[in-house]
Structure 1
Amino acid sequence: MSDLFKKAISLGWGLTMVSKEKVEKVVDELVNRGELAPDESKALVNRLIERGEEEQSQFKSVINDQVKKILHEINVPTTSDVTNLEQRIAVLEQRISELEAPQAVQEAPQVE
């Protein structure tokens, strides 16, 4: 039984890259060799798939954290940084436009 447990653990670790069909195939092989009871096969497949999804989620979380850390370390601006700068630029452009407007009226040639 410990050999079966080792196989299940190994299979569980690899589920982030393995399809459900491949998991079912391996479990069916275990049933055919008599290492697993047929009535336990569906439950094992479900547990392994669930565990694989959990591990995949954890893996994605770790990768996301690492990417964020690296981007922060190399000073890549965040979306909110860019948005804040865009808003500041828009305000400055508006102020420049307002300041230039009276000059344009004063500089316009007068028609007599």
Structure 2
Amino acid sequence: MNEWLKNGFFLGLGAAVAGKEKVQTYLDDLVTKGRITPKEAEQFADELIHKGETKEEEWSQASKDRVKGMFHDMGLATRDDVENLEAKITHLESLLKEEANKNDT
């Protein structure tokens, strides 16, 4: 599973780099041909980057939700579950120590 996630990450990273290079080449070509100004090209690139970051955040959250759902379906404990159990154990240990101290006196 870990290898699958890592491969997916590198695939996405490679696609992003290739896509950015193609967009930059396309924008440079438009500037060279005089169809847009360098400032317009920069603004367009910034807009694409912003949209890409927004979409990446959406996909990232959707991926996290899917993984959480898979873990839930498999019956695996979440970090919150483990932390809650640790807190309960700590509380019970302190109650036992208090009870032991009462019995000792």
TM-score (norm 1): 0.59
The 1-side partners of 2:52 and 2:92 are apart by: 52
The corresponding residue for 1:38 is 37
Cα shift at 1:91:
2.3
Cα shift at 1:81:
1.4
Q: Which amino acid aligns with 1:64?
A: K
- Listed as ranges, the gaps of 5+ residues in structure 2 are 1-12
Cα shift at 1:35:
7.6
Aligned counterparts, 1:24-103, within 5 A: 24-32=24-32, 34=33, 36-39=35-38, 40-101=40-101, 102=103
Rg larger in 1 or in 2? 1
Contact in 2 for aligned 1:31/1:38 (Cα 8 Å): yes
Q: Which has the higher helix share?
A: 2
Q: How many residues align?
A: 89
The 2-side partners of 1:95 and 1:37 are apart by: 73
User: Percent same amino acid among aligned pairs?
Assistant: 27
Q: Aligned with 1:37: secondary structure?
A: coil
The corresponding residue for 1:6 is none
TM-score (norm 2): 0.61
- Listed as ranges, the gaps of 5+ residues in structure 1 are 1-13, 107-112
Does residue 18 of the first structure (1) align with residue 17 of the second (2)? Answer: yes
- Greater RCO, CA 8 A, separation 6+: 1
Coordinate RMSD, CA, aligned = 3.1
